Amino acid sequence: MVDVIDPFGSRQSEPDPARPPLRGRILLLIALIVLIVFGRSIVFDFVDYDDPRNIFQNPLYLPVNLTNIAHFWHAPYSDQYMPVTWSIWGILAHLGALAVPTHRLGGPDTLISPLPFHLVAVGLHVANALLVYALLLRLIRREVPALFGALLFAIHPFQTECVGWVNGSNISLAYLFGVGALYLYLEAADADTAPWQRRWLYPVASLLFLGAMLAKPSAIALVGVAFVLDALVLQRPLRRIAPQLLLWFLIAAAVDVYNWIGSRGSQTVQVALWSRPFVAGDALAFYLGRILLPLRLCLDYGRSPGVVLANTWGYITWLAPAMVAVILYRLRQRWLWTAGAVFLAALLPVLGLVPFYYQHYSTVADRYMYLAMLGPAIAFAWMLTTRFGESRIGRLSAIGYLLGLGLLSAAQISFWQNDLRLFEHVAEVNSESAMANYSLGNTYSRLDRMDEALAYFEHANRIAPGFVDNYALVNWGNALAGKGRLQEARQRYEEALRREPGHADALVARGLLNAQEGHTPAAIADWQQALVARPQDVGVEYNLTLALIQLNRRTEALSHLQSIVTRRPDFAPAQQLLARIMGSAQ
């Protein structure tokens, strides 16, 4: 029989030890290790997956003001009601505002620096690692096992997506509130806590839970995690748990319903009820395998319900988590039950039992494991309280495993450096990823490598006809135009404008095509309409000025030229053209 410490921190024959204090040197060690593994991501770029739409091309951040921030609190934006996240990103956009646009490798220029966003993303993950250590220390009352468990949570390669991807930092923000809420909830529910402390601990925990829900609605998973920890760790009866968690459930339901009402344009995948358990079982099997051996992780696994259910293995993979469940049951160790139940509760909203939007790409994603890694962290920490875990070979094995995870995470985070690194890696892991192929087409189009861009666009179109978004349509058109296939390019621009009549990039591109073919009035109309959507775009306004001069509409041209020079005195072509016009007028 394995000699273990009870889930609550004591051997069966020993009194429950006092909880050790939070020691500064251990907290500093955790923070230092996280920074060593992930710190270089602070100099990374934005990437061409949700970062443009949600951050550096977000019209409500150009400029940032209270009126625009208030919009996020009134209704969902981009089909997501997460006003705390939108507001914090707005502050970071203001702090990162640039006077002169900077060019991104393979992406559109931006007036917002990614540096503040990456600094905060790394800081949030450090803070969450420290909170997880505090939570584990509260549960098992042993410093070294709690340290090892926190490091497993912090440096597992699953976590790189929420650290390296700016748009993924909303998850780590939500669980900064969430893990804090769990800690205070357990303090309030503990029988050893003084009554006067409970009076403020539970309300503060509930406020933190509300903050988590307003940062990311998927934080509803915290309700299940809190229930598991309360029932299996504190062992309170259901009649004591239900009234307190009812408030959290009502908060979560209110936020999720409001988000659903305001984002009905977001279409989920239609999956038959009978097949959803197979999809969920496959997702669990995938995550369990990658926890132990986290190799070939990427942004898009292509493991959509359609792919899973179209293959024989999709009806078999559920056996792996089922076997794990049987083993946990037969071991009859509450600490393993707790770890497994926390893992399951954290993943429950994104297993596919209830369809969600990202299943168009894949049911599984690394970011969905962010909170769920608390389960393996609990198991790892408690395993180190066994006789084997306390032995020299046990500790060395744990250190070796953590070292391996750290090296893998350091390699994994490098893929988030820019679009080219990210999507080439995704295409290497999943060559049938339409997302990766379209994004590489976008990237190579922006780098003026049109042959490669066209190859990726055409491959993506063979994989998933009609999957292409408007941004990719415009870049596909640009690649075709660069190869002299002007009619095909026009078809791509007009398809984008059919879908979204005011799409600025499509209007700008079609204007350039019209100008190239000698249709100057049509080019002027396109650029004028584009400037309605992007009034600060001096490049478009300069092209419009040249076209107006070509039609001898000098008064309008001069007005635009003076506007450009006033707003961007560093824009040399406008300065030179204005000097020539003013010189010729004398």
Pair of tokens at residue 471: 């941004």
Mind listing the pLDDT tens digit for each residue in 14-51?
344 666 777 889 999 999 999 999 999 999 999 988 99
pLDDT score for 506: 92
Tell me how far apart the alpha carbons of residues 95 and 115 are, in angstroms, rounded to a whole number: 10
CB distance 112 to 55 below 8 Å? yes
* Sequence-distant contacts of 571-576: CB under 8 A, at least 24 apart: 571/538, 571/542, 573/542, 574/538, 574/542, 574/545
pLDDT score for 585: 58
pLDDT score for 103: 67
Tell me how far apart the alpha carbons of residues 475 and 489 are, in angstroms, rounded to a whole number: 9
Tell me how far apart the alpha carbons of residues 469 and 378 are, in angstroms, rounded to a whole number: 42
CATH label, 431-536, candidates 2.70.98.60, 3.40.630.10, 1.25.40.10, 3.60.90.10: 1.25.40.10
pLDDT at 104 over 80: no
Burial class (CB in 10 A: 0-12, 13-18, 19+), 185: buried
Pair of tokens at residue 373: 């890694």
List 104's β-bridge partners, or say none: 107
Q: With H, G, I as helix, E, B as strand and everything else as coil, classify residue 80.
A: strand
Domain-wise residue ranges, the chain? 24-47+116-416, 431-536, 542-586
| Residue among 290, 309, 428, 315 nearest 359 (CA) | 309
Mind listing the pLDDT tens digit for each residue in 298-355?
999 999 999 999 999 999 999 999 999 999 999 888 899 999 999 999 999 999 999 9
Assign residue 266 a region (left: φ > 0; alpha: ψ between -120 and 50; beta: otherwise).
beta
> For the packed helices 538-550 and 504-516, what is the interaxial angle rounded to 10 degrees?
30
Over residues 497-506, the mean pLDDT reads: 90
Instruction: Evaluate the CA torsion angle 395, 398, 402, 407 in order and state its sign.
Output: positive
Length of the chain measured in residues: 586
pLDDT score for 15: 40
Mind listing the pLDDT tens digit for each residue in 530-554?
998 878 788 898 999 999 999 989 8
Mind listing the pLDDT tens digit for each residue in 272-298?
999 999 999 999 999 999 999 999 999
* Three-state SS letters, 49-73: CCHHHHHHCCHHHCCCCHHHHHHHH
CB distance 546 to 520 below 8 Å? no
DSSP 18: P
The confidence band for 3, taking pLDDT boundaries of 50, 70 and 90, is: very low
Pair of tokens at residue 149: 């468990």
Flag whether the pTM goes above 0.85.
yes
Tell me how far apart the alpha carbons of residues 142 and 140 are, in angstroms, rounded to a whole number: 6
* Per-position DSSP letters for 160-222, written without gaps between them: HHHHH-GGGHHHHHHHHHHHHHHHHHHHHH-TTS-HHHHHHHHHHHHHHHHHHHHH-GGGGHH
Pair of tokens at residue 568: 């961007």
Element (H, E) at 531: helix 520-533
pLDDT at 411 over 60: yes
| Residue among 35, 41, 27 nearest 163 (CA) | 41
Tell me how far apart the alpha carbons of residues 437 and 454 are, in angstroms, rounded to a whole number: 10
The confidence band for 1, taking pLDDT boundaries of 50, 70 and 90, is: very low
* Per-position DSSP letters for 104-136, written without gaps between them: ETTEEEEEE-SHHHHHHHHHHHHHHHHHHHHHH
Peptide bond before residue 63 is cis, with ω within 30 degrees of 0: yes
Return the percentage of the chain with pLDDT > 90, whole number.
65
Mind listing the pLDDT tens digit for each residue in 417-449?
999 999 999 999 999 999 999 999 988 988 888
Mind listing the pLDDT tens digit for each residue in 253-263?
999 999 888 76
pLDDT score for 278: 97
pLDDT at 88 over 90: yes
CB distance 397 to 403 below 8 Å? no
